[in-house]
Amino acid sequence: MTDRLDPAVAAVRKAVRTAVDASVHSGHLAVAVSGGADSLALAAAARFVTARNGIRLHGLIVDHGLQAESLAVAEKTAGLLRELGLDEVRVLRVDVTGKGGVEAAARRARYTALRDALPAPDALVLLGHTRDDQAETVLLGLGRGSGPRSIAGMRPLDPPWLRPLLDLPRVTTRAACHALGITPWEDPHNADPAYTRVRLRAEVLPLLEDVLHGGVSDALARTAAQLREDTDALDQIAENLVPHKGNTLDVEELAAHPPAIRRRVLRRWLLAAGVPELTDQHLRSVDALIGEWRGQGGVWLPGGLVAERAHGRLSLTASA
Ligand SMILES: Nc1ncnc2c1ncn2[C@@H]1O[C@H](COP(=O)(O)OP(=O)(O)OP(=O)(O)O)[C@@H](O)[C@H]1O
């Protein structure tokens, strides 16, 4: 493997080194590897960086068991990681069950398995999301009318997750693998037009690039970063207004804030009280107790709680 002068390898290493230097304070680091180009380039760069500062690098591969060849892909990927010299490599077998589509269930199972496999309580897990993934997430969110939380995209650091490649395009990880002599696995899903994301990638983004004369992924990633700054600021303001757990809310005080703040306060208040799976509809109904008050009754919430307004205060009680 001759990689010293390759610019793609250098770019991936630089991104990983910057992220590791800024955020890794543990002697252990994990890297989640699907076998695709992004996470293999990430793992190779992480090995290079951690070898220099004595951090133990753990490779984690999730086998969702959804395709006949999934175990073989996982074992082959494990072999590649061992060749790269990772300190420990584990294949995590998960059962994909539960609500929603298979994709969503697989994602839930994957993140749970990765969290459970953390090599130390303060260890982080590197993920190989690139700038293109970020751009696709933002564009999908815009097209679906999602809220700012979705359009703000993925965070570079969201413990235990660390995403060093969010500023790099996918072509760089492919080029890095090529330069290192690593053959990535091509997920057949990535070519299946039945998936919205695949069509967005293959049809929509190239057209947008053409119409806008390039730079679209970079621009969408910038939009996400700006929105993150704004939403973080609003979140911080709301955070300071949330009463301690179990306390009621003063309606007049809340009504003085714009909806963007008010709903954030309500969301935090309800989540802290243990309301599971809070939907936007629930939040709007509780908010209506403030903004559209006409003496309506309580709002029934998941988890057996009811939000009620009485004597100028909002309270939560267990439903009978
Ligand atoms: N089977 C897997 N085993 C281990 N890590 C994985 C696996 N699949 C994905 N990952 C990690 O997640 C990163 C993103 O992968 P991918 O883009 O396929 O995820 P996704 O399906 O878009 O879901 P999400 O964006 O929510 O992670 C990969 O670069 C890799 O780090």
Q: What is the pLDDT of residues 149-177, one digit of tens each?
A: 889 999 999 999 999 999 999 999 999 99
CB of residue 90 inside a 6 A radius of ligand 1: no
174 and 260 Cβ atoms separated by less than 8 Å? no
**What whole-number percentage of the chain has pLDDT above 90?**
86
Q: What is the pLDDT of residues 72-98, one digit of tens each?
A: 999 999 999 999 999 999 999 999 987
**pLDDT in the model for residue 219:** 97
**Cα 149 from chain centroid (whole Å):** 11
Residue nearest to atom 29 of ligand 1 (CA): 128
- The pLDDT confidence band at residue 102, using thresholds 50, 70 and 90, is confident
Region 31-49: mean pLDDT is 98
Distance (angstroms) between ligand 1 centre and the Cα of 81 equals 16
Whether the per-residue pLDDT at 3 is higher than 60: the answer is no
Q: HEC string of 137-186?
A: HHHHHHHCCCCHHHHCCCCCEECCEECCCCCCCHHHHHHHHHHHCCCCCC
Region 118-142: mean pLDDT is 97
Domains and CATH numbers, the chain: 7-211 (3.40.50.620), 242-318 (3.30.465.60)
Ligand 1, residues 12, 29, 39: which to mutate, most atoms within 8 A of Cβ? 39
92 CA closest ligand 1 atom index: 3
Distance (angstroms) between ligand 1 centre and the Cα of 296 equals 45
Whether the per-residue pLDDT at 2 is higher than 60: the answer is no
ipTM of this predicted structure = 0.95
Residue nearest to atom 24 of ligand 1 (CA): 107
- The pLDDT confidence band at residue 179, using thresholds 50, 70 and 90, is very high
